[in-house]
Amino acid sequence: MNDKITENYLGLNIVRRLLIDKFGEDSIVLIGYLKDKDFVSEEQIAQDTGIFYKSLQKSLIRMQDAKVIVCKKITDETGYITYYWRIDFDALVEYIQENVYGMFSQLISKLEYGEELYYCPSCSIEGIVYYSYEDSLDYQFKCPRCGSDLKLLTIETIENLKEKILK
Footprint of Zn ion on this chain (CB under 5 A)?
Answer: 120, 122-123, 143, 145-146, 148
Task: Report the alpha-carbon distance of residue 146 to residue 133 in Å, rounded.
Answer: 18
Nearer to Zn ion, 92 or 150 (CB): 150
Min CB(130)–Zn ion separation in Å? 10
Min CB(17)–Zn ion separation in Å? 17
Dihedral of CA atoms 12, 13, 14, 19 in degrees, nearest 10, equals 90
Min CB(163)–Zn ion separation in Å? 20
Nearer to Zn ion, 137 or 146 (CB): 146
The H or E element containing residue 96 is helix 89-96
Nearer to Zn ion, 68 or 129 (CB): 129
CB atoms within 10 A of CB 3: 9
Task: Report the alpha-carbon distance of residue 115 to residue 129 in Å, rounded.
Answer: 15
Q: Which residue is nearest to Zn ion (CB)?
A: 143
